Amino acid sequence: MPTESDQHFEHIWIITGPAGCGKTTVAQHLATELSLPYIEGDDYHPTANKEKMASGIPLTDADRWDWLITLREAAIKKLQTSNSVIVTCSALKRKYRDVIRVANYEYPSVQVHFVYLKVDESTLQARVAARVGHYMKENMVHSQMTTLEEPEEDLEWDVLQVDVREDKELVKRHALEVVKAKLKEYEDIEHPQKQ
């Protein structure tokens, strides 16, 4: 007979990676399959950031701080009505991911997870070139790949990696599998089986 644990967790799932890796596609799939709210991180960029990116000007750290904090707070707010939220955010550097991780320090029940969509630069160039109506231009891909600090497994244990060079449907399925597996780990803590 299952017993209830005193522990309860909420989850922020950050779908991360450079422009063109499929963040929105994967995030929308996860949100639909898991019936969770979804936050498109790009919608939270201030106009000045969007204008810079549309002009091919890379964002600086200073451009990103307020955006990351706003995004983190929006995710925490969504947890008032749901036990999980899906968020897209490039989070290219470890220090950017650390800004989101602060949610756990403010609210210990909040678990932050990054689903890192790993891909090579040539694949990204092709994907971004094929986009219609997105402010991120092809010339920004190299800048993003230069900025990217790939998560190190031994230092960033909250990162789940998904190779996105595969077929889009396989990528979506793999992302869903890794998220469900991580959720199962937390469910086992919340609802341990009586021995």
Among candidate residues 185, 179, 135, the one with its CA nearest the CA of residue 161:
179
Give the amino acid at 118. K
What per-residue confidence (pLDDT) applies to 19?
81
Do 186 and 40 meet the contact criterion of CB atoms below 8 Å apart? no
Residues above pLDDT 90, as percent of the chain: 68
Judge whether residue 170 has pLDDT over 70.
Answer: yes
Q: What is the pLDDT of residues 37-65, one digit of tens each?
A: 999 999 999 999 989 888 878 889 999 99
- How confident is the prediction for the chain on average, in pLDDT? 89
DSSP per-residue string spanning 132-192: SS-S--TTHHHHHHHH--PPPTTT-TTEEEEE-SS-HHHHHHHHHHHHHHHHHHHHHHHSP
In the chain the domains, ranked by start, together with CATH numbers, are: 10-188 (3.40.50.300)
Give the amino acid at 11. H
Judge whether residue 92 has pLDDT over 50.
Answer: yes
Distances (CA, A) of 66 to 40, 61, 105, 142: 16, 10, 18, 24
What per-residue confidence (pLDDT) applies to 195?
40
pLDDT band, very low/low/confident/very high, at 5 (cuts 50, 70, 90): low
